[in-house]
Amino acid sequence: MEPEIEDKTLELMNTSVMESQNHVDDLSPKKTTVLTKLSNGPVMTGSRKRPSEGNNDKEKEHCISLFDQWSETDQVEFVEHLISRMCHYQHGHINSYLKPMLQRDFITALPAQGLDHIAENILSFLDAQSLCSAELVCKEWQRVISEGMLWKKLIERMVRTDPLWKGLSERHQWEKYLFKNRTTEVPPNSYYHSLYPKIIQDIETIEANWRCGRHNLQRIQCRSENSKGVYCLQYDDDKIISGLRDNSIKIWDKQSLECLKILTGHTGSVLCLQYDERVIVTGSSDSTVRVWDVTSGEVLNTLIHHNEAVLHLRFCNGLMVTCSKDRSIAVWDMASPTDISLRRVLVGHRAAVNVVDFDDKYIVSASGDRTIKVWSTSTCEFVRTLNGHKRGIACLQYRDRLVVSGSSDNTIRLWDIECGACLRVLEGHEELVRCIRFDNKRIVSGAYDGKIKVWDLQAALDPRAPASTLCLRTLVEHSGRVFRLQFDEFQIISSSHDDTILIWDFLNVSTNGQSEGRSPSRTYTYISR
């Protein structure tokens, strides 16, 4: 402390001592106190401290009057000097005293300054549990949350970021109350407050249905005239498009399950397909790739390049990759449905290339030669090989750093594409794993044993998780080999050599007491609520 402040401290204390002495002339000499100033040290007491008996009020008032005459800076330094002379217990007592003084109810204070929007914005970052707690703080906080429609904003945030929430909003039709400005058409905040726990309950029910295998089953009989079998499919909310062994492409209504259209033109089995809002692209055992108008069914283009069956294809953002039994991979530029040109042919596999996938960084291919090869999407140059499967690889999916593959060695492998390491081997299928898909939670696989297995992806990525905990459920309904499947948060749609397409619905589950892992004895028609 500066000498000036130290002098003020001593002056204040000595003055207090002198006044105290005048008040204690009639007291016992044992209660008198002598202050001794040590050089550069604290003021120490003599024989014993005078107990606080309320007889020093005038001393306190005099100290405060002197204190009030100083500048704020001098006051702070003086208090710091006093605190430095105190013991740990005193520090704790002062800390407890200061804490509530330092707290500010900014949520209440901001609206008083005309800044309601800032208070609303701050509270809009809370999760559901915190928002519930905030409503109980006081009436003003509750008013800010209610008038700011913060439960509505929380639900909107979840719908934007979580596919499960988005799907529920569409299927249960409460999306019509979201993403609208405050008008008479929008329900009050209380509606959204009560809606939130109902959504959570729906989500918990769906997750339990997945874990327990509870589902309603819809079955499409494709009734192929000659060769039976559905090799490939893709679906959306309105339709299912399937490629059949009898050379045809059939389009089904997702609600009524009726066949809307049959596309013909291939002279061999339709082995792979993909569609978007404009076109359907198919690959066939006749070695060609055909491009169809998704609305009219008209053939827009036919690509003749591969020497043998086109086993798989993918297209996205003006790029298409096809692979073939002829061991090659073709990379195409898609300027338009009618303007598709060959960019590069990738050669390196020593057997049929059964599947390809790609993103902006890598093209990934898998082959009967037991290897997965990684190529640069931009340069088409070879990057690395993933080795581990003991027999040919029939399927894979690639996203971010993760590759999941299925093989005729009956196993599924998870790979880190950047380093080529095998992260986990999943065992359980009894025959060739023919199709595989994964999202953020699950892996779903189909095999020639006729079974569909649902796996816990997050557990599979955890090396500490026991192998026995990885398979959540085995679904058995197909009577033949499972060729292809696709799934989302609410359903699996699969196709098989048994000439059927099955829709496994985990959302609209019957409560008739069906046993776990098996479908109900009757089928149910999907009705969007």
* Side chain identity, residue 125: F
* Model pLDDT, residue 519: 43
Rounded distance between C-alpha atoms, residue 55 and residue 318, angstroms? 91
Domains and CATH numbers, the chain: 106-178+187-211 (1.20.1280.50), 212-505 (2.130.10.10)
Per-residue pLDDT tens digits of the chain, which is 529 residues long: 455 555 555 455 555 444 444 443 443 333 333 333 333 444 433 334 455 555 688 888 888 999 999 999 999 999 999 999 999 999 999 999 888 888 778 888 888 888 888 988 989 999 999 999 999 999 989 999 998 899 999 999 999 999 999 999 999 888 888 887 766 678 888 999 999 999 999 999 999 999 999 999 999 999 887 889 999 999 999 999 999 999 999 999 999 999 999 999 999 999 999 999 999 999 999 999 999 999 999 999 999 999 999 999 999 999 999 999 999 999 999 999 999 999 999 999 999 999 999 999 999 999 999 999 999 999 999 999 999 999 999 999 999 999 999 999 999 999 999 999 999 999 999 999 999 999 999 999 999 999 999 999 999 999 999 999 999 999 999 999 999 999 999 999 999 999 999 999 999 887 654 444 444 433 333 222 2
Task: Give the DSSP letter of residue 196.
Answer: H
Which class for 105: exposed (0-12), middle (13-18), buried (19 or more C-beta within 10 A)?
Answer: exposed
3-class state of residue 308 by DSSP: coil
- Look at residue 4 in the predicted model and tell me its pLDDT: 55
pLDDT at 360: 96
Rounded (5°) CA angle 522-523-528: 140
State the chain's maximal CA–CA distance in angstroms. 123
pLDDT at 23: 44
CA–chain centroid gap for 41, Å, is: 61
Q: Could you tell me how far CA 236 lies from the centroid of its own chain?
A: 21
Contact 288, 303 (CB under 8 A): yes
- Collapsing DSSP to helix, strand or coil, 12 comes out as helix
Instruction: State the pLDDT at residue 183.
Output: 61
Closest by Cα among 273, 233, 283 to 496: 233
| pLDDT on residue 115 | 87
Q: Which residues make beta-bridge pairs with 221?
A: 500
Query: pLDDT value at position 185?
Result: 74
What pLDDT is recorded for position 56?
A: 83
Q: What pLDDT score does 101 carry?
A: 81
Is residue 241 exposed (0-12), middle (13-18) or buried (19+ Cβ within 10 Å)?
Answer: buried
pLDDT of the residue at 110: 85
DSSP 377-403: TTT--EEEEEE--SS-EEEEEEETTEE
